[in-house]
Structure 1
Amino acid sequence: MSKVTELGYVGVEASDLDAWEHFSAELLGLQVADRTDDTLALRMDHKAHRWILVRGEADDLAFTGFECATDADLDALVANLRAAGSEVTEGGPGLAAARRVRRVVVTTDPAGNRVELFVGLADAETPFSSGVLRSSFVTAEGGAGHQFLMERADRQVILDWYGILGFSITDYLTEEVAPGVFADAVFTHCNGRHHSVAWAAMPFPKRMHHFMIEVADINDVGLAYDRCMDAKQTFSMTLGMHPNDQMFSFYVRTPSGFDIEYGWGGLIIDDDTWEVQRGHQLSTWGHRSPQVVAELLQP
């Protein structure tokens, strides 16, 4: 069965590209690949880019690119999506050049998010170089990271649509995060990374709650945590660990108002033996609100 192989790149419509450049390169350790007045492309590895920011007022997810291994796989997915009633259009050479891919098609998922399916994301001409990272970002077979999206449509319809792309359910988590307020999430994967796309029914104003980027050395999590703290960035959650993907991480607010989860040690699963899990705890420990921590530290 034809399927996507990874979450290859993410696009954000951002109102303050200068703030994003400082945040992503100097605090998180990404590398600026290209910068114009209206665009900012960022690298995480040997690929030409993994993040594409375009100037705009939405300050939210603009598009997600999922890679296909071959043109035949892409053609099969296009046919299957159209058979299921989705509109799919060829991106054309202009969009392919802008995304640095050989070929790209464009569609929309049931939640209204723009999805780009592509083949052949180009390698960069130079090795990846971070000004602050000690190790490297974990991409390889897992792709750029994972995104945690708001459902904004019937869950089963969303899961069925992403099932056409080859996504499978990894697990479910439901927790009462405040009196009468529940985070109800489902996590899906398309490769060994525990999840590449997660969906949640919870109050949040953006399409994307967070995007996770993973580093290869636990020390890089602590160093990034300190850099963000010293720069007086807004934290959503302090250091902690999730029970399902076993990610050690913190959450920091981006200049666009959604979060980056900055993590290490994410679980790699074997699809042949994995059994869907159901949990009721979002974090094993930590991941507390900074306000709560500040109150607890008061003498």
Structure 2
Amino acid sequence: MRIASLGYLRIDSTDLDAWRTFGAQVLGLAPGRPPRGTGEENLYFRLDELSARIVVQPSDRDGLACAGWELSGPAALAEAVDRLKHHGVELTTGTEAELAERRVQEMVRFSDPFGNVLELFCGATYERTPALTPYGNRFVTGEQGLGHLVVPVADDTAGLAFYRDVLGFRVRDSMRLDGELVGQPAGSTVWLRFLGCNPRHHSLALAPIPAPSGCVHIMLEVDRLDDVGRALERVRRRGAHLSATLGRHMNDDMVSFYVRSPAGFDVEYGWGGLQVDDDTWTARESTAVSAWGHDFAG
């Protein structure tokens, strides 16, 4: 199986107005439009030429609903379906209504061993008009996809086995943690795993920590450092919760800060992320989260 990139995120929300403000006035996302005849109740945000990268849907809960992972086409999706069935994964095929609302040609849905919902899709629509972000910021997407996603896994060993051995993600980096920090027995070790599927250092990370929202954080990357600074100013002006100060990560070199979203998970907003070539890359173990900064205040 060869997943190409993180294609879209669907987010459950009890307060769409909060997301309307946060998405546009804090993150600088471009407004999208609903598909013809469906989805009028949702919020659609664009980062690039795709019709929607982030969809916020009304719900009685706040959190990540699912992550959509893009494949190169129908043949790749069919191969992925065969592989998932071989490993005993239960699949649901997207209905015509779901395909129309997501603006994709084909889609299947399933859950990982911990209940995190994934959708594999191909054939997303793109727009003839550019994504007009409100502050002129440009997001780094293309073959690297939307950004990255960190999901909670109750068992780091089982999580790695599923995402690496079944879904085909490649291990790019790891970091060991004291198990006691996440409720494991004294003296035990748990692992943060950073996994890639394209040149972005990691498109997915597995965190052995609880996250009621179903997501630890997502990352959006812009192509100018100044746009990180401007976004940080908007966080302060809008009174959003700054979860971590400006810093540079050790593993992917990203200069970023973290801000709390209305869904309860954090959004990392960064610049300068590392790109890797799997033919020459050697998986490593980082010994700290950041080279400097990133004071996580909670």
TM-score between the two structures when normalised by the length of structure 2? 0.91
Question: Distance between the aligned counterparts of 2:28 and 2:146, measured in 1?
Answer: 14
| Residues in 1 aligned to 2:257 and 2:111: alpha-carbon distance in whole angstroms | 30
Q: Give the drift of 1:250.
A: 0.2
Q: How does 1:278-289 map to 2 (within 5 A)?
A: 278-289=285-296
- Give yes or no for contact 1:174–1:281 (8 Å, CA) kept in 2: no
Query: 1:236 maps to what in 2?
Result: 243
Tell me by how many angstroms 1:158 deviates. 2.2
* Match among 209, 233, 242 for residue 226 of structure 1: 233
> Using the alignment, how far apart are the partners of 2:287 and 2:113 within structure 1?
26
Q: Which of 259, 264, 287 is the aligned partner of 1:252?
A: 259
Task: Provide the rounded CA distance (Å) in 2 between the counterparts of 1:176 and 1:92.
Answer: 44
Percent sequence identity is 39
Query: Who is 2:174 aligned against?
Result: 172
Is 1:139 aligned to residue 141 of structure 2?
yes
| 1:195 pairs with one of 202, 208, 216 | 202
Deviation at 1:175, TM superposition (A): 4.8
Contact 1:42–1:50 at 8 Å: present in 2 too? yes
1:132 and 1:38 mapped to 2: Cα distance? 26
- 2:93 and 2:296 map into 1 onto residues whose CA distance is 44
1:129 alignment counterpart? 132
1:262-285 Cα deviation digits (max 9, x unpaired) = 000000011111111112201110
Contact 2:156–2:192 (CA under 8 A) maintained in structure 1: no
Paired position in structure 2 for 1:294:
none
Q: Contact 1:14 / 1:59 at 8 angstroms: preserved in 2?
A: yes
Q: 1:100 maps to which residue? A: 103
Q: Which moved more, 1:197-206 or 1:267-276?
A: 197-206
CA distance in 2, matches of 1:90, 1:289: 40
Equivalent of residue 280 in structure 2, options 273, 277, 282: 273
Q: Which residue of 2 aligns with 1:160?
A: 161
Paired position in structure 1 for 2:25:
26
Q: Deviations over 1:59-90 (max 9, x none)?
A: 11101111110211100110110010001121
User: Is the Cα contact below 8 Å between 2:144 and 2:200 reproduced in 1?
Assistant: yes
* 1:90 aligned partner, one-letter code: T
Q: What is the distance in 2 between the residues matched to 1:159 and 1:53?
A: 29
Runs of 4+ in 1 over 6 A off after TM superposition: none
Q: Which amino acid aligns with 1:56?
A: S
Shift of residue 289, structure 1, vs aligned partner:
3.4
- Report the residue type matching 2:250 in the other structure: P
TM superposition score normalised by structure 1: 0.91
AA matched with 2:46? R
User: Cα RMSD over matched residues?
Assistant: 1.8
In the alignment, what sits opposite 2:92?
89
Q: Structure 2: any 5+ residue segments left out of the alignment?
A: 183-189
Q: Which runs of 5+ in 1 are unaligned?
A: 292-299
Contact kept in structure 2, 1:241 and 1:286, CA below 8 Å? yes
Secondary structure of 2:264 counterpart? coil
Between 237-246 and 156-165, the greater mean CA deviation after superposition: 156-165
CA distance in 2, matches of 1:261, 1:281: 17
Cross-structure match for 2:66:
63
Residue of structure 2 equivalent to 1:120? 123
Asked whether the equivalents of residues 92 and 103 of structure 1 are also in contact (C-alpha less than 8 Å), the reply is no
Number of aligned residue pairs: give it: 286
Contact 2:160–2:193 under 8 Å retained in 1: no
For structure 1, which segment, 36-45 or 193-202, has the greater mean C-alpha deviation from structure 2 after superposition? 36-45
SS in 1 for 2:104: coil
Contact 1:109 1:115 in 2 (8 A): yes
Aligned 8 A contact 2:213 2:263 in 1: no
Match of 2:185 in 1: none
Partner of 1:150 in structure 2?
A: 152
Task: Give 2:48's aligned residue.
Answer: 45
Per-residue deviation at 1:31? 1.0
SS at match of 1:34: coil
Change (3 A) 1:110 1:203: closer
Shift of 1:27: 1.5
